[in-house]
Structure 1
Amino acid sequence: MKEPASGQVLTAVGIDSSNGIYPLAYAIVESETYNSWCWFLNCVGKDLGLTKRSNITFMSDRQKGIIAAEENLYPNAEHRFCLRHIQQNMKTQWNGKAYKDHLWRCPTATTVPQFEHCMQERKNFNEGCWKYLVKVQPKHWARSHFSGKAKTYVLLNNMCEVLNRWLVDGRDKPIITALEFIREYLMKRIVNVHSKIAKSEGPLTPAATKVFEGIKKEATKYTVLFNGSSKY
C-alpha cells in the first residue's frame, strides 16, 4: 500500500478453464509475516473447502513467512516456486542471456534423465551457478519432478502479477476505499468472463476447444491396435 495507508495487499489467484486468471481472495494486512499468511491462507482454505489432507498446489515467489504457513496449514500441499523469481535472485551473481537460456532448459525438460542432462550442461557451463540451483529442490521448479496432481505445468507466477498490476491504482487510497476498488474491479472482470461464456458454442471454452482441435489433428497420425475387450 502507498500513503496515506500502510500495509500489504495479499492475493490468491487460480487458473480458470480458459487458461485465464480467476481471483480467489484478497486482503490487506499489516505486513507479510507468518501470522498474516496463516490467517489469509486459513480464510482461503475455508472458502475452498480445504483440509490438511487436501492435494492443492501453491505457487509463490517465496515471500517471507508463506512457505512455513502453507506447510503448517496444508502439509499435503505441493509448493512451486516462480522460475522468474529464481532467475532474478541469480542475476545478482550470474546475469546474461546465456545463463537465462541454460536455466530455462532445466525446468522445461519433461523427463528426469533429460533434466539431469541439462543440469550437467549447466555445471559444465558454470559450477557456481549449478551449486545455487542444486540447493533448490527440483520438485519445486522443474516439470520433470512435478507429481501431476496439479493439471498444469505452469512455471511462472504471472497470475498474481497480472492481478496486482491492475490493482496499482487502488493502493494509494484509504483502506476501505482500496478494498472497494479491488471488489469493483474483480466484479467487472468476472462479469466479462461470464459474458464470454454465454457466447461460447459447445461444452468447452474457446481456449480448451483450440487445444483439443490441435490434439485431434495430431491424433490422426496414430495407428489404433485392438487389445481385447474394450481396450485399444
Structure 2
Amino acid sequence: MDLFDELENVASRLETVALSGCQAPEDPNGKDNSPAQILRIKEKMANQCFEMQVKISAEKLKKSCGEQESSRDMSECESEIEEARINHCNKTLALQRMQIWWGISERLKKNDTESEVLKASAKHSLELSSKILEVQQESSEIQDQVFQLQKKRLDLKRLIHEKMKEMEELKRMREHPEEGKYKKALEKGQEYLQKYQKMATMTQNVLQTGETAVDRYDSFVSVTISIFFRCK
C-alpha cells in the first residue's frame, strides 16, 4: 500500500475513534493505527521530503557549476584561438619578408637593367642610412653641448642671485652712518654684478645659437628620412 493511502486510512480510523468515544478500533489487517504510528509516518514523510529537497538542491548546484565550467572553458578556448591567430599572422608576415628578400637577392644576381637599378637603389639607401646615423650622432653631441651650456647658465643665475643678495645687504649697510667704510665694497659688488650680467647675456646668445643648430639638424634628418623612404 502506498504511504499516502496508508496515511489516509489512518486518518479515517482516527476519525472513527473520535466518533466512537476515543477508543481505537483494531485494524483487520493487524496493523497499529495509534497516534504514535501516525507520528512515525509523518516523520518518515518529512525525511523523504528533506531528501528530495537535498537532491533537487544538489542537481541545481551541479547544473550551475557545469554552466560556470563551460563558460570558463569557453573563455579559455577564445583566448587560445586569439593567441593562435596572432602567432599565425606574425609567422605569415615573417614568411612574406623572407620571400621578398629572397626574391630581391635572386633578382640582384642577374645582370640586367632591373637588377642594376635595384643595386643602385640599395647602395643609395645604405649611403642615406649612414648619413642619417652621422647626423643623429652630431645632433646628440650638440644637444649635450646645449645641456652643458644650460647647466652653466643655471649656475650663473644662482651666482647672480647670491651677488644680488650681497648687494642688498650692502645697500642696507649703506643706510648706516658709516657709509664711507663700505663704499669700496659696494663699488666692487656693482662691478661683479655687471660682469656676471654680461656673462649671462653671452651664455644666452650661445644657447640660442645652439638651439638654432639643433633645429637645422632635425630638419635635415627629417628631409633625409623622407628621401630614404621615397627611394624605397
TM-score scaled by structure 2?
0.18
Say which structure is richer in helix.
2
Say which structure is richer in strand.
1
TM-score scaled by structure 1?
0.18
| Greater Rg by CA | 2
